[in-house]
Amino acid sequence: MTNPPTSLRRLAALACGLSLLVAACGSESSTATDDTTAAPTSTTDDTSAAETPTDSDASVRTSDDSSATDGAKPEVVVPAGPAPTELEFDDLIVGEGATAADGDYLVMQYVGVRHADGGQFDASWDRGQPFSFTLGAGMVIQGWDQGIAGMQEGGRRLLNIPSDLAYGSQARGADIPADSALVFVVDLISVVRQPTVENAPEPVTELDVEVLSEGSGEVIEAGDVVEVHYIAMLQTNGEVFDSTWSRGQTAQVVIGVDPPQVIEAWNDGLLGRRAGDHVRLVIPPGMGIDDPSGAIPADATIITEVNIVSVN
């Protein structure tokens, strides 16, 4: 997540001023850092999109267990034999939801161990919160970008990653020596995909809320900090004036508090929704953005589509 730029400040406008907006909405990105989630983080400047692994570049095995994950931290069993020289992955549980592709924002749980001795060096489970990133954007090691592509939501996959697709000759502290092959078990909790927004046929005079797809996570209550991906556009001409997708990072907003920390339509339209919901709001004049510059006309109908990633 990131501090909102000017366009988001308009959408998540605070009555009390910018400093409180930053305090409420300005957490750092959930991308891994060296100290807390070292293993998945990319160490290269290569941000080219990863391709879905094929039989030519990855060894693929599928287990017979196709039941849904039980939400518990898994035990990682290191595959027998020497360290891999090519990426290998094994679908321990086959998901039934959306298939992860480059550009998707993924919410994951994972455990990582060294291939050499099976010792754990990192686990999102131990921190009590999942790890989120954009697939194919170079935000994680190549073994993740390549090995998670093609997973289905609700699935669990074992990744057996050679050192050159992990950290190569770079040691990552005492827990990951140089030239280490790594083994992960990853659960794909949620696939968040950039929406394609269509214009509303007519302007509206009252808020229109439509849940395009339903999630099963925590319900948003007043005062909750909500992580979102969203896109916002003008109804009249379809111009997109703000989008977290264009920045490649989610944002955090606080819903249902006084003084308000988001526009009225978001307070009304998102309260009671769940993490995982994809919500379309068609916003009438007066419930949207107060923009003295005139870039967004006072009588404009605004369309926002909001993917609710998490609720805290």
Q: Do 223 and 116 share a structural domain? A: no
Does one domain contain both 158 and 219? no
| Domain termination residue (choose one: 192, 219, 238) | 192
| Each residue's pLDDT expressed in tens, for the chain with a length of 312 residues | 443 333 333 344 322 221 112 223 333 333 333 333 444 776 554 433 333 344 434 554 444 444 456 678 999 999 999 999 999 999 999 999 999 999 999 999 999 999 999 999 999 999 988 999 999 999 999 999 999 999 999 999 999 999 999 999 999 999 999 999 999 999 999 999 988 876 666 889 999 999 999 998 999 999 999 999 999 999 988 888 889 998 888 999 999 999 999 999 999 999 999 999 999 999 999 998 877 777 888 889 999 999 999 999
Domain check: are 184 and 75 in the same one?
Answer: yes
* 142 plus 101 within the same structural domain: yes
269 φ/ψ sector (left φ>0, alpha ψ -120 to 50, else beta): alpha
pLDDT on residue 247: 83
Residue 84: cis peptide before it, omega within 30 degrees of 0? no
Q: DSSP code of 115? A: T
Q: In the prediction, which pLDDT does 70 show?
A: 67
In a domain, 159, yes or no: yes
Q: Is the Cβ–Cβ distance between 141 and 41 less than 8 Å? A: yes
Do 80 and 141 share a domain, yes or no? yes
187, 198: one domain: no
Give residue 199's pLDDT: 65
In a domain, 41, yes or no: no
154 and 268 share a domain?
no
Cα 18 from Cα 24, distance rounded (Å): 10
Element (H, E) at 21: helix 18-25
pLDDT for position 61? 46
Please identify, among 192, 210, 231, the residue that sits at the C-terminal boundary of a domain.
192
Closest C-alpha among 186, 188, 179 to residue 90: 186
The enclosing H or E element of 265 equals helix 264-270
CB atoms within 10 A of CB 294: 7
> Given 147, 177, 192, which residue is the final one in a domain?
192
Say if CB 60 and CB 52 are below 8 A apart. no
Q: What pLDDT shows up at residue 28? A: 32
Side-chain-side CA neighbours of residue 198 (13 Å): 4
Phi, psi for 75 (deg, rounded to 5): -90, 135
pLDDT of 58 reads 55
76 shares its domain with 187: yes
Report how many domains make up the chain.
2
CATH number at residue 229: 3.10.50.40
